[in-house]
């Protein structure tokens, strides 16, 4: 299972929110590149980079941060937050993203999202399936849609989606443990989805459990920043898995 640390960006700074609420913003570092280099120094190969300004603005905003990290580290970066147009995608990939995550767009404009899948391939396009009470949430989690989470994922699996990042918003940033039951349900009800668990990771012991369940990756954010999981533990997990 891949360990994928998260860097969330507001105003070019590394922040974390709780349950996606912008009012709960905590700035952890003024320099995201510094954080990314620290991850890389501990053996991390992947990074989940979220443009929270972009999620609010509905277009890419912090592509310079992406470009800076991509050009000065060897991290494989998946980038998301407000990607709504072909132009947004072009900018993201030109700025060094290895993959992009589309969430709101997959709900609100499925034709565009499917066209990205066809153009770039399933290895480049991740479905962001963020949910509250198993209903898909959109626009940086500021809105809840009427889409049920599991059928939403299954329908996209049918048209070729391979990677899915699933965040249970009620858990995100709360350090109370991830939604094991929800992830198990998704893994049981899909055939070929590479599921990336996100939200609520709070202790090291949760990582092997998610790996045993069959998650392809796990995004870890606040647990690292709040020193609940040490970088040494992350390093050891990567070395031994």
Total count of domains within the chain:
1
Instruction: Give the CATH number for residue 137.
Output: 3.20.20.70
CA 193 remoteness from chain centre: 15
Among 147, 133, 128, 132, smallest CA distance to 50 is for: 128
Domain that residue 149 falls in: 2-240
Could you tell me the maximum CA-CA distance found in the chain, to the nearest angstrom?
43
Q: Helix, strand or coil for residue 95?
A: coil
Active site residues per annotation: 8, 130
Report the distance separating Cα 10 and Cα 8, nearest Å.
7
63 close to 95: Cβ distance less than 8 angstroms: yes
CA end-to-end span of the chain, whole Å?
7
The secondary element (H helix, E strand) that includes residue 113 is helix 110-120
Output Rg (C-alpha) for the chain, integer angstroms.
Answer: 16
Query: How big is the chain, counted in residues?
Result: 241
CA distance 40 to 126: 22
Per-residue pLDDT of the chain (241 residues; tens, 9 = 90+): 999 999 999 999 999 888 778 888 899 999 999 999 999 999 999 999 999 999 889 999 999 999 999 999 999 999 999 899 999 999 999 999 999 999 889 999 999 999 999 999 999 999 999 888 888 877 545 556 688 999 999 999 999 999 999 988 877 667 789 999 999 999 999 999 999 999 889 999 999 999 999 999 999 998 999 999 999 999 999 999 8
Which residues share a beta bridge with 79? 49, 100
Task: Tally Cβ neighbours within 10 Å of residue 188.
Answer: 10
Q: What is the 3-state secondary structure (H, E, C) of 145-165?
A: EEEEHHHHHHHHHHCCCCEEE
Helix (H) or strand (E) holding 64: helix 63-72
């Amino acid at each position: 299972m891949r360990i994928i640390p998260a860097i969330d960006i507001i105003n070019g700074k590394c922040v974390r929110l709780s349950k996606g609420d912008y009012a709960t913003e905590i700035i952890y570092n003024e320099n995201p590149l510094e954080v990314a280099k620290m991850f890389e120094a501990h053996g991390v190969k992947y990074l989940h980079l979220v443009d929270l300004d972009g999620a609010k603005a509905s277009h890419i905003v912090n592509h310079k941060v992406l470009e800076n990290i991509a050009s000065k580290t060897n991290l494989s970066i998946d980038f998301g937050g407000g990607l709504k147009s072909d132009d947004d995608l072009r900018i993201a990939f030109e700025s060094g993203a290895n993959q992009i995550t589309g969430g709101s767009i997959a709900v609100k404009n499925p034709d565009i999202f499917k066209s990205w899948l066809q153009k770039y391939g399933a290895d480049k396009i991740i479905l962001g399936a963020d949910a509250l009470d198993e209903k898909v949430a959109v626009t940086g989690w500021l809105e809840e849609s009427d889409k049920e989470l599991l059928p939403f994922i299954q329908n996209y699996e049918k048209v070729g989606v391979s990677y899915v990042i699933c965040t249970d918003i009620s858990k995100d940033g709360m350090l109370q443990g991830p939604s094991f039951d929800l992830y198990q349900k998704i893994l049981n009800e899909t055939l070929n989805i590479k599921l990336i668990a996100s939200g609520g990771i709070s202790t090291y012991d949760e990582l092997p459990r998610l790996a045993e369940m069959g998650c392809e990756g796990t995004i870890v954010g606040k647990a690292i920043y709040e020193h609940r999981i040490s970088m040494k533990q992350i390093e050891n997990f990567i070395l031994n898995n």
